[in-house]
Structures are given as C-alpha cells and as structure tokens.
Amino acid sequence: MKRTLSVLVENRPGVLTRVAGLFSRRGYNIDSLAVGRTENPSISRMTIVVDGDEQIIEQVCKQLNKLIDVIKLSDITDDPHVGRELMLIKVNAEPAVRGEIMQIVDIFRARIVDIARNSLIIEATGDADKIDALENALRPFGIREVVRTGKIAMLRGAKTKGMEASGDGTGD
C-alpha cells in the first residue's frame, strides 16, 4: 500500500538527514521524497511516498511526528489532491524515428526541451501512472537517462494542510 504524506518541517539544517535517517534506521522504505520551501521561507514541505502495511505507515507517521523539526504531518492519500511529478528523459532519436517520438510526446502532453544529433530530452509532468506510461512508451527507442523528482502534492479546493501547529509553540 502506497501512502502520500505531506510534511511541514522547520527549514533548519539537518532536517532532511533527520527525516531520511529515520526511514533507514527503522527499516522503512521510502518510495520518493521531494522537498522545497513553502510560502514561508522558514518552513519547508516534504512530500513523502511510503510503501508498507497499515502498521508500518502508522509507525512512520508517529516517528516522524516525534521529530522536533516536524511541525505537521498529514496523510493525504485519501483526500482529494493534485499529485505531480516532473521527469526529464533523454532518449535515442535518430532522425528516422523523431516523428514517431514527437507523436508520443504530443499524446502525453509532454514537451521536447533539447535536441541533439541523435537524442532528445523530453520533459513531462503528471501523476506517477502517466510518467510511467510515457517512460514505457519511449523505452523501445532506447532510454539514455531518466531523472524524476518524486511526487509533490497539494490538496484540492480551499483546504490547506496549513501552518497551524499543535506543539508547545512559543514562550513557556
């Protein structure tokens, strides 16, 4: 079972190591982890896709929640959300097959962003299924290199998984 976790963390040094380290130390599998800062520069958002049974996911969430740098964690798998991944893919493209590749690129609403003599770089965004499908469609031409960002996600509608934190806050 794959779950998508949306995690707000303090933008402090070491946060990424702490989160990634927690996964390896406890023997959990990360499918993907994407991180970047939010509208508030002191806070970053991580989108983590984990694979595991219910008990593992529960432990992952509890252990993540314990980290002092983790401000808020939400499992958004079952909430309506937009999930996207960016892929750059370099394929062999002899002039004879370019037309065919461009057709595929069109069908997937992807874009060609670089052309060399014998290869192309294609940029695509979408959910993991679409990206996988495109990769498969291009495989027969010979894939030279693939770079994927891992999933990022945002809830649909006005709802936010916002900054309201549940912790000790300031003062004390």
Q: CB–CB of 118/93 below 8 Å?
A: yes
Contact flag: residue 59 with another protein (CB under 8 A): yes
Contact flag: residue 53 with another protein (CB under 8 A): no
Part of the chain binding another protein (CB under 8 A), chosen from 18-26, 32-40, 77-85, 134-142 = 18-26
Options 55, 95, 129, 158; binder of another protein; rule CB under 8 A: 55
Chain centroid to Cα 118, Å, comes to: 30
Options 5, 9, 48, 110; binder of another protein; rule CB under 8 A: 9
Part of the chain binding another protein (CB under 8 A), chosen from 6-14, 32-40, 85-93, 117-125 = 6-14
Starting at the earlier edge strand, list the strands of the sheet with 70-75.
Answer: 29-37, 43-51, 2-10, 70-75
- Long-range pairs for 127-135 at CB < 8 Å and ≥24 separation? 127/83, 127/84, 127/85, 127/151, 128/83, 128/85, 131/85, 131/87, 133/108, 134/87, 134/89, 134/104, 134/108, 134/110, 135/87, 135/89
Nearer to another protein, 39 or 172 (CB): 172
Q: CB–CB of 85/154 below 8 Å?
A: no
Contact flag: residue 69 with another protein (CB under 8 A): yes
Contact flag: residue 169 with another protein (CB under 8 A): yes
Options 17, 117, 158, 160; binder of another protein; rule CB under 8 A: 17
Contact flag: residue 129 with another protein (CB under 8 A): no
Size of the site for another protein (CB under 8 A): 31
